[in-house]
Amino acid sequence: MDKLHEALISIRRILRASDIHAKKLGKVTGLKTSQLLVLQSLEEFGEMTVGEIANKVNLAQASATALVDKLQAMNIVLRVRGDADKRKVFVRLTDYGRTVLDRAPMALHDRFSDNFKALEEWEQSFLIAALQRVSGMMDASDYDAAPLLDHEVIVEKSSDPSRSTH
């Protein structure tokens, strides 16, 4: 097998892993990866405003708002007015949300993160350079992307409706 085929097969395996994980996550919890990322952030940092959530998970505020709306409709999160400042609205996990989070399989990006952190610094730099090169070769360098390994479409931070984040 030539090197081009090996490279394409590796890219396809990454895409397949993302697809398989997304389906497993959906089957076990009914969640999408971006929703899981919001829940994990709430678990880690406690209640936050939607803007704070958007910053933590690197999403546009409109995307975070839509995710929180869906999670609230599923009774997984709850919006509450601030005690000190009634103008602020905070999002927090419900007990049911914690149960859903406990059932969720380890996120693919978390597995990658654990393995990436275990690499030597030079290996991390080499891998980043190689992935950035692949991204450029696929004309994907300018796409705004959240730090998660899933192919679901998320509303971008940019206002260009012709582009979608993957």
Q: How confident is the model at residue 91, as a pLDDT? A: 95
Tell me how far apart the terminal alpha carbons of the chain are, to the nearest angstrom. Answer: 29
Q: How confident is the model at residue 120, as a pLDDT? A: 97
Record the tokens describing residue 137, joined without a space.
Answer: 């070769």
For the chain, the domains span 3-137
Instruction: Report the candidate in 46, 158, 66, 22 with the shortest Cα–Cα distance to residue 56.
Output: 46
* 101-153 pLDDT, tens digit each: 999 888 787 889 899 999 999 999 999 999 999 989 988 877 766 666 654 54
Per-residue burial over 136-151, b = 16 or more CB atoms within 10 Å of its CB, e = otherwise: eeeeeeeebebebbbe
Q: How confident is the model at residue 145, as a pLDDT? A: 65
| Residue appearing with tokens 């959906």 | 26
CA 114 from chain center: how many Å? 15
Q: Which CATH number fits domain 3-137: 1.10.10.10, 3.40.50.620, 1.10.287.3510, 3.40.50.261?
A: 1.10.10.10
* 45-87 pLDDT, tens digit each: 999 999 999 998 888 899 899 999 999 999 999 999 888 888 8
Q: Are 165 and 153 in contact (CB under 8 A)?
A: yes
Q: Are 40 and 146 in contact (CB under 8 A)?
A: no
Q: How confident is the model at residue 82, as a pLDDT? A: 80
Residue 21, CA distances (Å) to 4, 29, 129, 160 in order: 26, 12, 25, 29
